[in-house]
Chains A and B, each alone.
Chain A
Amino acid sequence: MSDTWLSDVKGRFAEARIQLIDEDEQRLAPAHLLRVAPAAWTSAVALCKGLSMRWAAFWAVEQATGFDAFTCLEQEGHYLLLVTSLEEPELDSIAHIYPAADRPQRHTHDLLGIGFRGQLDNRRWTRHQAWNEDDYPLRRDWQAPKSPSPTPPDDSYPFLRASGNAVYEVAVGPVHAGIIEPGHFRFQAVGEKIINLEKHLGYVHKGIEKLAQGRTPDQLTRLAARVSGDSTVAHGWAACMGIERALGVEIPPRAALLRAILAERERIANHLGDIGAICNDVGFSFPLYQLGRLRELLLRENDRLFGHRLLMDRVVPGGVAVDLDQAGQQEMLACCRELESEVAHLIEIMERSESLEDRLMTTGRLTPEWAAELGCLGYVGRASGLDFDVRRDAPYAPYQQVKVRVPGYRAGDVAARAKIRAEEITASLELIRQFIQRLEPGELRSPLPEGRGGQGIGIVDGWRGEIISYLALDETGRVSRFFPRDPSWLNWPALEQLIQDNIVPDFPVCNKSVNGSYSGQDL
């Protein structure tokens, strides 16, 4: 592994007289951990920005005294964790350096009560009205009220306002007009043109980080699998990886291959559904029904082979809860072939549709510059020149064994995001084929050591992009901290950016092409 990136970082730190209080490459491997003093926090982060590192996550952990704040950065598959210890719940904001850190900091404030000095946007984010201004639910000594009174609506959130003669405002949600998750959107428009969109999320906050505390690894995995129901395999895998790394457990090779097969099937199923929905949002329903049919066949096969249509709870700490016998492998291979040719044919028909092209090309354009500034992930990043993929760039078992093809474009419009998804389906089918070929008889699950503590980090590529799960287990082996960073944290801000200057009726298709998870970011 090339260590020049690390010596670059450390060299810059030394030049700027930033003292490293602690350094550890093992404790949270594959990330490299550097601990700095709170006073050096913003300068350290600014240096990383200067080295063009991508900002990935922020979270904090309450310690016996004070808090540890973590921020995660990445460059060419190398992960850096900057950590600082706070005696008082206060830290300098880094949102002016990395704008995507804004909402995670506000989330941390709402749940843990850490104040961010110099943060421009101090509005609450995850907290609406369910708990009081000075209640911090994630603090260890905080008790929820026994019988809380009904929660009033959050109707006084101070949205940004545009004014002027022709400006009007559209408020949408939290209950949307379809079968979708709840959130609130506030548009300001002139004529048909959107001049500003602001989101107000947090409606499906279920207290997952708090619920995780005190769980056993098995119980935690069930919860992690429900962070976002459409990414159940990926979130389950990331959480298990965190647990396994914390406990120093290697999973059997067969389990790794099966996990990857499940994850690729999850990716395909979601892309099939979304491509159809994108077309339907501009009034072309043919792909919705055709691809919906293929998705249903895939889900039925999931049910037949693995006992669950969406594959929930198939990934377990130490391995997997399912196997794939010879007959199942043959069936899957045959279905993959069939799916591949059907998808190729349908995509060809769609590509020939000029009216579809007309509606999708140049619509909802996210420039490569903005994508990079926000650190967008998955198909959103890949359609705008950022082709980072954990499977290829920071591979974990079993992806080291194969070549992962990662499609990329720079146009950044809805059409590019749809095209990436179509190409990812083919790439995933290729991967599934290779994984099946590599399946050797063997164990499905390694035992976990009892009652051992530790910290671990799981980093996997879900269908929306990189997922980072941080886990800490106490000495009894129970979870003391769980923070899963869904890719949606980084892709939601992109929607606000790419929608500008588009027309109001194109909002649904732009939104669908990004398809951020509400549940995954509200936690």
Chain B
Amino acid sequence: MLGMFYKILKTGIVTEKPADDSEIGQLAPELKRMVDRQFRGSLAIRMVDAGSCNGCELEIHALNNPYYGIEQYGVHFVASPRHADALLVTGPVSRHMESALIDTYQAMPKPSYVIASGDCACDGGEFGVSYASCGAIENVLPVDLKIPGCPPSPAQLMRGLLLLMGQRNPTTLR
């Protein structure tokens, strides 16, 4: 037990102030302000893998590691679409996930965002449209933001979220 506390103390806080990436540095306070104003301090995201290779998930997971600590901006991932303000989708939409993805979207309270994360989600990526894949998310759902990358790094994901929050007014969304 003591060993654990000692390790925690010695590690200290590694969470980075966004200043080491100047773009995030400028947008972060804005994101926090937007989340505070429009979502009462908490933006809830439901993540759905609609056919990814799992590379994208690994980097989304990293948003919760101590370096990025995405929760410091009031952004957190939730288990139920009914609790979610935004849907973060990865992968091309495999045909076998098409209806599950649509159901998840429909279970969300509106207005809601749809974010396509990764090259596959943005334009079909390496898999494209085939007998087994519908390709880009926008072929299935209306998409509000695309974050390209294979996979997008946590910094790119944060930038994407910040952009979304900074540019759009969710109350005007569908």
Contacts and interface: CB of A to CB of B under 8 A. Distances in A.
Prevailing SS type, chain B contact patch: mixed
A299 B62 contact: yes
A293 B128 CA distance: 34
B53 A205 contact: no
Contacts of B57: 179-181, 229
Interface in B82-102: 91-92, 94-102
Given A203-B97, A289-B66, A226 B58 contact: no
Nearest to A184: B100
Contacts of B66: 289, 292-293, 296
Interface string A339-359: 000000110110011000000
Interface string B128-146: 1011110000000000000
Contacts, number: 165
B51 to A, nearest CB: 5
A177 interface: yes
Top 7 A-B residue pairs of the complex, sorted by shortest distance between their CB atoms? A229-B55, A207-B132, A130-B95, A177-B79, A144-B131, A229-B53, A292-B65
Contact of A226 (B4, B55, B99): B55
A230 interface: yes
B113 interface: no
A286 B9 CA distance: 12
A230 to B, nearest CB: 6
Contacts of B103: 153
B8 A129 contact: no
22 contacts: A130-B95, A130-B131, A148-B131, A151-B95, A151-B96, A153-B100, A179-B77, A180-B49, A182-B97, A205-B132, A207-B130, A207-B133, A232-B53, A292-B64, A292-B66, A296-B62, A309-B59, A310-B55, A312-B55, A312-B150, A519-B54, A522-B94
Nearest to A291: B65
A206 B92 contact: yes
Contacts of B132: 130, 137, 205-207, 210
Prevailing SS type, chain A contact patch: loop
B60 interface: yes
Max chain A Cβ within 10 angstroms of own Cβ: one of B59, B94, B102? B94
A204 B14 contact: no
A521 to B, nearest CB: 11
Interface of A: 128-131, 137, 144-145, 148, 150-154, 174-175, 177-182, 202-208, 210-211, 222-223, 226-230, 232, 273, 286, 289-290, 292-293, 295-296, 299, 303, 309-310, 312, 345-346, 348-349, 352-353, 517-519, 522
Contact of B53 (A128, A152, A226, A345): A226
A226 B150 CA distance: 10
A211 B65 contact: no
Contact of A150 (B8, B58, B99, B131): B99
What's the interface size class on B, roughly?
35 or more
B105 to A, nearest CB: 11
A181 B54 contact: yes
Contacts of A137: 131-132
Nearest to A354: B1
B67 A296 contact: yes
A174 B62 contact: no
Max chain A Cβ within 10 angstroms of own Cβ: one of B48, B61, B92, B131? B131
A308 B98 CA distance: 30
Given A130-B95, A179-B60, A232-B53, 10 more contacts: A151-B96, A182-B100, A210-B131, A230-B55, A273-B58, A290-B7, A292-B66, A296-B66, A349-B3, A353-B4
Contacts of B125: 226
B52 interface: yes
Contacts of B91: 204
Max chain B Cβ within 10 angstroms of own Cβ: one of A150, A228, A303? A150
A153 B99 contact: yes
Nearest to B10: A345
Given A204-B91, A230-B55, A310-B55, A352 B3 contact: yes
Contacts of A292: 62, 64-66
